[in-house]
């Protein structure tokens, strides 16, 4: 192959890749995808430490049939809820707010202590073992939204 032909080969591969990326077309036949489902379980919220009103919450999200994005979390027991990642930066555990989490179909995504989590600010006093509602807003590729409410069990940090 001449260098020119190589270049064309590389270009057409790029085009194919670009087309593949565009298959999130809402008009595409839905028959190929199984009925989408989102199952949320094991939800918990940590009782804030004495004198604090900031805490975190976690849960498991099992996604079937279609990729989905966890776009937002709401609560009535905290002023503000954010989605956070946690990672090591310069030997320090560092939290960052993110716009959402993309969850591929067939996966169970965990929000948990020491990992990706829900961060809650200005939290009302919480009673251990009581349940407090979290509202999760999911978004499909076609813009369709699904709202899931889940009771989160309040857990003390000693547990």
Q: Which of residues 31-60 bind Cu ion (CB under 5 A)?
A: none
C-alpha angle with apex 156: 155 to 158, nearest 5 degrees?
130
* Distance of alpha carbon 45 from alpha carbon 130, whole angstroms: 10
Is residue 56 exposed (0-12), middle (13-18) or buried (19+ Cβ within 10 Å)?
A: buried
Number of alpha helices (DSSP H) and beta strands (DSSP E) in the chain: 1, 10
Write each residue from 66 to 105 as x if it is in contact with Cu ion (CB under 5 A), else as -, in one continuous string.
------------------x----------x----------
* Distance of alpha carbon 81 from alpha carbon 122, whole angstroms: 9
Among the listed residues 43, 119, 120, 154, the single contact to Cu ion using CB under 5 A: 119
> Nearer to Cu ion by C-beta: 55 or 66?
55
Number of residues that bind Cu ion (CB under 5 A): 3
* Distance of alpha carbon 151 from alpha carbon 129, whole angstroms: 11
> Nearer to Cu ion by C-beta: 40 or 111?
111
Name the minimum Å distance from CB 92 to Cu ion: 13
Tokens representing 74 are 């709401």
* Distance of alpha carbon 128 from alpha carbon 116, whole angstroms: 22
> Nearer to Cu ion by C-beta: 63 or 118?
118
> Nearer to Cu ion by C-beta: 66 or 126?
126
Name the minimum Å distance from CB 87 to Cu ion: 11
Name the minimum Å distance from CB 85 to Cu ion: 8
> Nearer to Cu ion by C-beta: 80 or 144?
80
Binding site for Cu ion (CB under 5 A): 84, 95, 119
């Amino acid at each position: 192959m001449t260098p020119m032909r190589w270049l064309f080969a590389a270009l057409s591969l790029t085009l194919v890749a670009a087309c593949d990326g565009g298959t999130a077309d809402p008009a595409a036949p839905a028959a190929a995808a199984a009925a989408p489902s989102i199952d949320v379980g094991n939800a918990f919220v940590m009782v804030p430490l004495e004198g604090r009103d900031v805490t975190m919450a976690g849960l498991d999200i099992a996604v079937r049939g279609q990729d989905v994005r966890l776009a937002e979390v709401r609560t009535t027991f905290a002023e503000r809820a954010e989605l956070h990642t946690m990672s090591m930066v310069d030997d320090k555990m560092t939290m960052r707010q993110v716009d959402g989490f993309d969850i591929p179909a067939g996966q169970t995504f965990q929000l948990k202590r020491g990992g990706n989590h829900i961060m809650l600010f200005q939290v009302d006093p919480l009673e251990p073992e009581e349940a407090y509602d979290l509202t999760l807003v999911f978004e499909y590729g076609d813009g369709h939204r699904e709202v899931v409410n889940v009771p989160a069990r309040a857990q003390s940090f000693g547990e």
